[in-house]
């Protein structure tokens, strides 16, 4: 049982981790995307009924197998715990601890604030999203650095298997949160095993309640058990009380370490309907667990219907304009939809080939910290790219076809004429027009044979091509203003552009 669990855990963990790291597109988006969609919180956010039924039924049958093998954060803790034994070069000795039901209930109630469009707390404690931020903001730069080292080595031998890629931190705040998450959860795993899963994790709280009623459970045959404590010392969930000869199945994560530890064959993973030899097949009803679930439901229903948020403008540092709204990823529908579904897993940020998406700080307000926004310093949104809408497991970014993407208006172009170099330096430019895929920016006669940008917001989709390429510094002469609710741009008719002779390039 343990060997099977370890193999499945390593395979799923490796695939999920590489999916976040894969900047070269080696994994198929359609097949690999399923790895994100089978996670518990994303399945709830996206209302994936079939996946939720599978996860719930599997828990009712076998207990918390999701926490044991499917959740990447759970496997990360197991790896840290395993390393602690290898580095310390001595057996890891855990001990039974009482269930912290009040803390678990509190964290579950806090996570329920997602239903009043305050996703920040759930984003912090959701295991999948927390692990995604760790990989995207911490592990991925390291992985890309390794790629660049290999590129240098292979290129010297005329082998171009690897190519160099830029490495940079997309958000200092998101990086700091990822580091803090990695250190805190890593420390808990190093010292106490699966403490995070059984005290903080909202998924662990929900599945823990369901596992109380699972068909298959780890049980102790009291007629064989001599209370030696071997199973308790191996239990990283701290749920085995060897003195009382009991197992708290709400906290058991089905690691099966205890089965191998017992030399008297006193522990079995068997159907609860089959009595053990001592006849101890019945378990008392856990009233504390019932109160825990009831408290969570009541608190979620009684939560306020709305959260007052302070919408803080984007920090552009531009005295010519202040962006009133951040530019949402295409397919996000609205800021309201983003707040209702996004848990900041950063999969879209990691997979964006143009590196246009970055974690927000306070652009969406306090509730939307670390959620994705469009940022045009490093690039612009490719006209035909729909990857972010394909990979989002939460339903925060709805799937778009290329045709739908071509008309999805996430922002509108704004032109600040008095700082455009055509006017300030009386020189030709036209870079913004050349990079506009919908001809929302065109060049019209200005003076002395010069042309100056002219905008048409009705056909602009907010891709940011014009803003990215604008040579004016430190403040762009043309930029994209985000929309709180995405609209539909009018179809554009492609026109042939006249070749113009330019004596000198403006930048």
Tell me the Ramachandran region of residue 94: left when phi exceeds 0, alpha when psi lies from -120 to 50, beta otherwise: beta
Span of 63-72, 275-284, 345-354 with lowest mean pLDDT: 275-284
* Higher pLDDT, residue 155 or 319: 155
Who's near 458: CB < 8 A, 6+ residues apart?
Answer: 440, 489, 490
Task: Select from 202, 185, 198, 207 the least CA-distant residue to 66.
Answer: 207
Tell me the C-alpha distance between 230 and 91, whole Å.
11
Tokens representing residue 131 in the block: 């692990």
pLDDT at 506: 46
Please report the sign of the dihedral spanned by the C-alpha atoms of residue 366, residue 370, residue 373, residue 376. Answer: positive
- Helix (H, G, I), strand (E, B), or coil: what is residue 267? strand
Residue 346 has pLDDT above 90, yes or no: yes
**Helices 101-111 and 287-302 sit at what angle, rounded to 10 degrees?**
30
Residue 215 has pLDDT above 60, yes or no: yes
Q: What is the mean pLDDT of residues 97-113?
A: 91
Tell me the C-alpha distance between 437 and 434, whole Å.
8
Residue 199 has pLDDT above 70, yes or no: yes
Q: What is the mean pLDDT of residues 193-222?
A: 92
Q: What angle do CA 227, 229, 233 make, to 5 degrees?
A: 160
User: Quick one: pLDDT band at residue 2, thresholds 50, 70, 90?
Assistant: confident
Tell me the C-alpha distance between 245 and 221, whole Å.
8
Domains of the chain are 2-300 (no CATH), 335-488 (3.30.70.20)
pLDDT at 117: 83
pLDDT at 209: 93
* Higher pLDDT, residue 204 or 504: 204
C-beta of residue 172 within 8 angstroms of C-beta of residue 128: no
Rounded to the nearest 5 percent, the helix, strand and coil shares of the chain are: 45, 10, 45
Tell me the Ramachandran region of residue 370: left when phi exceeds 0, alpha when psi lies from -120 to 50, beta otherwise: left
Residue 498, judged by CB atoms within 10 A of its CB (0-12, 13-18, 19+), counts as: exposed
* Higher pLDDT, residue 247 or 86: 247
Who's near 469: CB < 8 A, 6+ residues apart?
Answer: 380, 431, 432, 434, 435
pLDDT at 86: 84
Kind of pairing between the strands at 408-415 and 267-271 = unpaired
SS3 per-residue string spanning 433-487: HHCCCCCCEEEEECCCCCEEEEECHHHCCCCCHHHHHCCCCCCCCEEEEEEEEEE
pLDDT at 441: 95
pLDDT at 321: 60
Q: What is the DSSP letter of 47?
A: T
Residue 116 has pLDDT above 90, yes or no: no
Q: Write out the H or E segment, with its range, that includes residue 345.
A: none
User: Quick one: pLDDT band at residue 26, thresholds 50, 70, 90?
Assistant: confident
Task: Select from 272, 300, 346 the least CA-distant residue to 42.
Answer: 346
Residue 69 has pLDDT above 70, yes or no: yes
pLDDT at 104: 92
Q: Where are the alpha helices (DSSP H) in 49-139?
A: 49-62, 65, 72-88, 101-111, 120-125, 127-134
For 141-169, how does the pLDDT look when each residue is reduced to its tens digit (9 = 90+)?
999 999 999 999 999 998 988 888 888 88
User: Quick one: pLDDT band at residue 378, thresholds 50, 70, 90?
Assistant: confident
pLDDT at 263: 87
Residue 499 has pLDDT above 80, yes or no: no
Residue with tokens 């302070």: 310
Residue 287 has pLDDT above 70, yes or no: no
C-alpha distances out from residue 185 to 103, 181, 249, 321, 396, Å: 16, 6, 22, 42, 26
Residue 308 has pLDDT above 50, yes or no: no
- Helix (H, G, I), strand (E, B), or coil: what is residue 414? strand
Tell me the C-alpha distance between 298 and 96, whole Å.
31
Tell me the C-alpha distance between 267 and 218, whole Å.
7
pLDDT at 301: 37
Please tell me the number of Cα atoms within 13 Å of 297 on its side-chain side.
7
Tokens representing residue 260 in the block: 């191998």
Mean pLDDT of the chain: 85
C-beta of residue 466 within 8 angstroms of C-beta of residue 432: yes
Tell me the C-alpha distance between 196 and 184, whole Å.
9
DSSP letters for 358-377: EE-SSTT-GGGTT-EEE--S
How far, in whole angstroms, is CA 369 from its chain's centroid? 13
pLDDT at 493: 73
pLDDT at 312: 30
pLDDT at 307: 31
Tell me the C-alpha distance between 36 and 42, whole Å.
7
pLDDT at 114: 87
Q: What is the mean pLDDT of residues 195-199?
A: 93
pLDDT at 274: 58
Span of 381-390, 468-477, 494-503 with lowest mean pLDDT: 494-503
Kind of pairing between the strands at 246-247 and 240-241 = antiparallel
Residue 311 has pLDDT above 50, yes or no: no
Q: What is the mean pLDDT of residues 17-46?
A: 87
Q: What is the mean pLDDT of residues 439-452?
A: 92
Q: Which residues of 110-131 are buried (b: 16+ CB within 10 A; e: fewer)?
A: bbbbbebbbbbbbbbbbbbbbb
């Amino acid at each position: 049982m343990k060997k099977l669990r370890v193999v499945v855990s390593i395979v799923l963990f490796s695939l999920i981790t590489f999916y976040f790291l894969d900047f070269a597109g080696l994994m198929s988006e359609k097949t690999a995307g399923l790895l994100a969609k089978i996670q518990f919180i994303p399945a709830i956010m996206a209302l994936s009924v079939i996946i939720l039924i599978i996860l719930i039924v599997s828990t009712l049958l076998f207990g918390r197998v999701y926490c044991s093998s499917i959740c990447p954060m759970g496997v990360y803790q197991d790896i840290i715990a395993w390393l602690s034994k290898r580095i310390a070069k001595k057996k890891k000795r855990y001990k039974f601890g009482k269930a912290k039901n009040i803390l678990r209930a509190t964290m579950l109630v806090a996570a329920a604030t997602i239903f009043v469009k305050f996703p920040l707390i759930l984003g912090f404690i959701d295991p999948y999203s927390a692990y995604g931020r760790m990989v995207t903001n911490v592990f991925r730069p390291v992985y890309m650095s390794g790629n660049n080292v290999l590129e240098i080595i292979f290129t010297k031998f005329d082998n171009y298997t690897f190519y160099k890629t830029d490495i940079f931190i997309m958000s200092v705040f998101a990086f700091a949160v990822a580091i803090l998450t990695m250190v805190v959860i890593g420390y808990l795993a190093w010292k106490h095993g699966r403490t995070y899963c059984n005290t903080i994790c909202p998924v662990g709280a929900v599945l823990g309640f369901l596992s109380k009623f699972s068909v298959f459970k780890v049980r102790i045959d009291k007629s064989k058990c001599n209370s030696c404590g071997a199973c308790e010392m191996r239990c990283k969930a701290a749920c085995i009380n060897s003195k009382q000869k009991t197992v708290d199945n709400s906290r058991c994560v089905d690691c099966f370490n205890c089965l191998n530890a017992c030399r008297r064959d006193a522990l079995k993973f068997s159907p609860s309907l089959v009595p053990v030899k001592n006849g101890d097949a019945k378990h008392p009803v856990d009233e504390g667990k019932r109160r825990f679930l009831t408290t969570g439901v009541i608190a979620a229903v009684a939560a306020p219907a709305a959260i007052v948020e302070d919408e803080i403008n984007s920090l552009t540092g531009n005295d010519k304009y202040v962006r009133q709204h951040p530019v949402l990823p295409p397919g996000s529908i609205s800021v309201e939809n983003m707040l209702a579904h996004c848990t900041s897993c950063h999969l879209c940020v990691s997979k964006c080939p143009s590196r246009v998406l970055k974690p927000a700080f306070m652009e969406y307000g306090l509730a939307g910290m670390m959620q994705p926004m469009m940022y045009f310093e490093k690039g612009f949104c490719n006209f035909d790219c729909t990857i972010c809408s394909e990979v989002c497991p939460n339903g925060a970014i709805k799937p778009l076809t290329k045709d739908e993407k071509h008309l999805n208006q996430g922002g509108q172009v704004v032109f600040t004429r008095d700082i455009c170099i055509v006017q300030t330096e009386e020189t030709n430019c036209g870079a913004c027009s050349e990079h506009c895929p919908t001809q929302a920016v065109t060049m019209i006669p200005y003076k002395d044979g010069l042309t100056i940008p002219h905008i048409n917001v009705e056909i602009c989709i907010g891709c940011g091509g014009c803003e990215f390429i604008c040579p004016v510094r430190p403040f762009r002469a043309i930029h994209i203003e985000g929309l709180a609710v995405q609209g539909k741009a009018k179809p554009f008719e492609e026109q042939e552009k006249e070749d113009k002779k330019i004596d000198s390039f403006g930048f």
